[in-house]
Amino acid sequence: MTRVITRVGDTMLAKLLGRAEAGACVPENGQACACVASDGYCSGGVYFRRYRQGYYNCTGACVTTTSKALCYVKKAGVC
């Protein structure tokens, strides 16, 4: 419910002030973007990097967290 109220409030504010001044998120906060490098681990002397589903934050950066689904894992060096 809070998310709906916030979205409606942002929409009304954007109409009143204009999108640039209202501080609305572009692209939409939480919208999926590319896979992003996340954490990693060592196994058998090889370092593997995990890539997770990314999402846009309010500043427009494509970010991720360890709670997001894995996209793929690839070798990233030795350890």
pLDDT tops 70 at residue 21: no
Distance of CA 63 to the CA centre of its chain: 3
Strand (E) positions, 28-69? 32-43, 46-56, 62-63
On whether the CB atoms of residues 25 and 18 are closer than 8 A, the answer is: no
Confidence (pLDDT) at 28? 83
Confidence (pLDDT) at 19? 44
On whether the CB atoms of residues 53 and 47 are closer than 8 A, the answer is: no
Confidence (pLDDT) at 25? 75
Mean pLDDT over the full length of the chain: 80
Q: State how far the Cα of 71 lies from the Cα of 32, in Å rounded to an integer.
A: 12
pLDDT tens for 37-69 read: 999 999 999 999 999 999 999 888 999 999 999
Confidence (pLDDT) at 49? 97
Tell me the CA end-to-end span of the chain in Å, nearest whole number.
Answer: 47
